[in-house]
Structure 1
């Protein structure tokens, strides 16, 4: 018998990536789920935890009522944002302690946080553990600090601030790719425009629908409750997010899901669907001439990923205003007023699309960068093993 070196692959133990988000903001919730799905494609385990699942029950139950109140009254939503308070008194102490105990037992060291309301819990975990190599990405989904990030201490050395887009520096750092599909060339897209109000249907978008229809612009309108579709016309398509869906509830397979979404058709039930890799609405964004919406962080992600220009409406707070200003500065978007003054020009929008395409080409993919930085690779060990031989 002869001996020879034969390479064998040995997989190093992979740690679970803990992904923390809030169901109260789809601009934080949806990127968290996309990150989890994309890590799974790379055979990396992740655990998505939605903040509402550790809130006191009465606080959690108030979220849907608040959502519809804000949807119906933008002024109320703006006022409430200015009055936002520390989340800590609303946390269920036992549920929070049990969650931290689980992380300690499993020695969790890799985290992505998509909502600043998780910071007091993350800081508590850092205080109660002595791991030296904890790494926590604070994923800012807006171009400047939003309400939740401003309330808490985010200076621990374990924190790495991830700014996908940054108003202060007037730049982009990463592309958070919603889909692996390349953007559709502008001249191959449908002649339709997607108009919506973000995850909660907030803003002035509903007031723009009649004037856009009057101009002959074909719209795909996102509705949030049945009364939103009362003025439906034959030249517009309406899509509804299931009003009964709650982001913190899991499906039969114990997974969080993207918003159930379906087209509203006359005199028929809506067939709500859940796309597994990314939200169903992205298929509309991918084919649209532009997104007409308030400039939320999730909308910026969609715009960049699909190379779909943004026509931005009145923002929800100062940080969304900075989102809109940044997109306009970079040549990716235009305010609704300026677009209207141009005569609703398609040529302007095509130039914005080409600007996004050029910028995308040089941007690193965040999930790929994360995996390269933090996730163990396959390693090769040279082992001496018997090789079959004939004497």
Structure 2
């Protein structure tokens, strides 16, 4: 195995960025490589983290607030503690990092400082979304020489490479639960709760991911939860997850919600980058809800163009036919995508 030492830079404000970073680290380690994960928020003072946690709650409760907040967000790197940054730079030097993989654009400002102090190092920008996500736009221009890696490419119209969520084969269609997985991404945002009611009314059984106790309101639904007291900057693991009211388990290897996705007929969600990743590796179609910003709109358009997903409205016009979902599943099964973790090693 090569002597590559990979540092993966994520952000805790989006599980659709952070979880792919954890997955990439696990896939590298499984092959005998060395990988570390740094979370931007670990460099921030407690009061900043408290504000982030409050924003998460507000964005979950009202999607309009989330959409407005996205437009007002600033470069999070301005909030870091300089002493914490110095300690992290010293850790990177000690580890002998040979390549950085950046999943959040807010890291680029700090990487410029590191390179100015310690000299050049290889940097990949790994795009989980199919176009530049807001963190890269808000970070601004950089003088760093970057290699751009796309896990989905709206402009190229395909999936150039990916990060396996698991090495296990997708669950065969005939062996799947006759259920839909309904969720709002890592922060529980979007119109999924309203759509869950419509899907119940036409006879589907649902697994719904709840984000706080107040979400547990509809009878006839199996609810699951991410531990609401957990945040990505608290530990190095996946989000603790489990059936509502039955406690949380911190799974290893991949995130717990993926096990539900593998068994479902479809995942009903806004089109975040992490949701695309789950869809690809489970061969579970996406029923696409209102996007969180222009980048997610492009994600949706790409998934539909590839035959991997369908908008909620179009599926509704087709009378919510399960046969439509099976066609999308078959297209996903045929996807043959290079493994980014293997390329890194």
TM-score > 0.5, shorter chain as reference:
yes
**Which residue of 82, 98, 114 corresponds with 1:109?**
98
What is the distance in 2 between the residues matched to 1:214 and 1:21? 39
Provide the residue aligned with 2:210 in structure 1: 223
TM-score where L is the length of structure 2:
0.96
Q: Secondary structure at the match of 1:48?
A: strand
C-alpha deviation, 1:91, in angstroms: 1.0
Residue aligned with 2:13, SS: coil
Distance 2:78 2:342 in 1: 37
Q: How does 1:1-391 map to 2 (within 5 A)?
A: 14-131=3-120, 134-151=121-138, 152-154=140-142, 156-157=144-145, 159-231=146-218, 233-234=219-220, 236-250=221-235, 256-264=236-244, 269-359=245-335, 361=336, 363-371=337-345
Q: Distance in 1 between matches of 2:152 and 2:217?
A: 37
Give the helix-richer structure, 1 or 2.
2
From the CA coordinates, give the structure whose radius of gyration is larger: 1
Gaps of 5+ in 2: none
> Which structure features the higher share of strand residues?
1
The answer to whether the 8 Å contact 2:10/2:37 transfers is yes
Q: Please, what TM-score do these two structures have when normalized by structure 1?
A: 0.85
Whole-Å separation in 1 of the counterparts to 2:97 and 2:197:
51
Rounded Cα–Cα distance in structure 2 between residues aligned with 1:351 and 1:40: 35
8 Å contact 2:264–2:284 — kept in the other structure? yes
User: How big is the shift at 1:366?
Assistant: 1.3
**Larger displacement relative to structure 2 (191-200 or 165-174):** 165-174
Show CA shifts across 1:176-222 (max 9, x none): 21001011122221100000000000000011111111101111000
Aligned residues of 1:175 and 1:305 also touching (Cα < 8 A): no
- SS of the equivalent of 2:224 reads strand
Tell me, yes or no, if the aligned pair for 2:130 and 2:153 is still in contact at 8 Å. Answer: yes
Q: Relative contact order: is structure 1 or structure 2 higher (C-alpha 8 Å, sep ≥ 6)?
A: 1
Q: CA deviation at 1:126?
A: 1.8
Q: Tell me the alpha carbon deviations over residues 256-307 of structure 1, each in whole angstroms, 9 at most, x when there is no partner.
A: 111111112xxxx422111100011111101110000000000000001111
Deviations 1:97-150 (A, max 9, x none): 22113323444221111111111111221222234xx22111111011110011
Partner secondary structure for residue 319 of structure 2: coil
- Report the secondary structure of 2:38's partner residue: strand
Superposition RMSD in Å: 1.4
